[in-house]
Structure 1
Amino acid sequence: MIGDHLQELHGLPAFHFPGEEDGPVDPAGLPAPESVAWRVTGDIYGSGESWEKAFERFRAAVDITRVRALIVGVWGEAYEGGPEGVIEALVKAHGQLPALRALFLGDITVEESEISWIAQGDVTPLLETFGDLAELGVRGGHDLRLNAVRHDRLRTLRVETGGMPAEAVRGVAASELPALEHLDLWLGTSEYGGDAEVTDLEPILAGTRLPALKHLALRNSEMQDDICAALAAAPVVARLDVLDVSMGVLTDDGAAALLTGQPLTHLKTLDMHYNFLGEEMRARLRDTLEPAGVRVDTDPDDAESDDDGDGDVWRYVAVGE
Structure 2
Amino acid sequence: MSVYHLENLYGLPAFDFPLPDTETELPEPGAVAWRISYDPYSDESDEDFDGRFQRFLTTVDPSRVRAVIIGLWGETYEGDADDAIEQLLMAKDRLTSLEAVFIGDITQEESEISWIQQSDVTPVLRAFPGLRELGVRGGSELSFPAVTHANLRTLRFETGGLPGAVVRGVAASDLPALEHLEMWLGVDEYGGDATVADLAPILAGGRFPALRHLGVQNSEIQDEIAAAVAAAPVVAQLESLDLSMGVLTDEGAAALLDGQPLTHLKRLDLDHNYFSAAMEERLRTALEPSGVKVEMSEKGDEDEDGDEVFRYTAVSE
TM range (shorter): over 0.9
2:303, 2:248 → 1: CA distance?
15
2:232 aligned partner? 234
Deviation at 1:87, TM superposition (A): 1.0
1:24, 1:14 → 2: CA distance?
18
Aligned residues: 315
The AA in structure 1 aligned to 2:304 is D
1:267 aligned partner? 265
Kindly indicate whether residue 304 of structure 2 is the aligned counterpart of residue 307 of structure 1.
yes
Would the aligned equivalents of 1:15 and 1:39 in 2 still touch at CA under 8 Å? yes
2:128 aligned partner? 130
1:41 aligned partner? 37
Would the aligned equivalents of 1:43 and 1:49 in 2 still touch at CA under 8 Å? no
Gaps spanning 5+ residues in structure 1: where? none
Would the aligned equivalents of 1:156 and 1:182 in 2 still touch at CA under 8 Å? yes
1:5 aligned partner? 5
1:186, 1:3 → 2: CA distance?
12
2:223 aligned partner? 225
Deviation at 1:170, TM superposition (A): 0.7
Would the aligned equivalents of 1:25 and 1:61 in 2 still touch at CA under 8 Å? no
Q: 1:152 to 1:25 in 2, by over 3 A?
A: farther
Moved more, 48-57 or 290-299: 48-57
2:68 aligned partner? 70
Aligned to 2:281, the other structure's residue is in SS state helix
Alignment of structure 1 residues 152-231 onto 2, 5 Å: 152-231=150-229
Aligned to 2:280, the other structure's residue is in SS state helix
Kindly indicate whether residue 281 of structure 2 is the aligned counterpart of residue 293 of structure 1.
no
2:39, 2:314 → 1: CA distance?
28
1:101 aligned partner? 99
The AA in structure 1 aligned to 2:28 is A
Q: TM (normalized to structure 2)?
A: 0.97
Q: 1:185 to 1:2 in 2, by over 3 A?
A: same
2:200, 2:80 → 1: CA distance?
29
The AA in structure 2 aligned to 1:232 is A
Alignment of structure 1 residues 244-259 onto 2, 5 Å: 244-259=242-257
Deviation at 1:49, TM superposition (A): 3.1
Would the aligned equivalents of 1:249 and 1:276 in 2 still touch at CA under 8 Å? yes
Would the aligned equivalents of 1:181 and 1:215 in 2 still touch at CA under 8 Å? yes
Deviation at 1:3, TM superposition (A): 4.5
The AA in structure 2 aligned to 1:282 is E
Aligned to 1:96, the other structure's residue is in SS state coil
Q: Deviations over 1:284-309 (max 9, x none)?
A: 0000000111011121x24111111x
Deviation at 1:4, TM superposition (A): 2.4
Choose from 115, 118, 121 the match for 1:120: 118
1:25, 1:228 → 2: CA distance?
52
Would the aligned equivalents of 1:155 and 1:180 in 2 still touch at CA under 8 Å? yes
Deviation at 1:127, TM superposition (A): 1.1
Q: TM (normalized to structure 1)?
A: 0.96
Aligned to 1:201, the other structure's residue is in SS state helix
Deviation at 1:79, TM superposition (A): 1.1
Would the aligned equivalents of 2:271 and 2:299 in 1 still touch at CA under 8 Å? no
2:117, 2:152 → 1: CA distance?
24
Q: Deviations over 1:101-151 (max 9, x none)?
A: 000000000111000110111111011111110000000000100110111
Kindly indicate whether residue 59 of structure 2 is the aligned counterpart of residue 91 of structure 1.
no
1:183, 1:303 → 2: CA distance?
23
RMSD over equivalenced CA pairs, Å? 1.1
The AA in structure 1 aligned to 2:14 is A
Q: Deviations over 1:126-185 (max 9, x none)?
A: 111111100000000001001101111000000000000111111111111110100000
Gaps spanning 5+ residues in structure 2: where? none
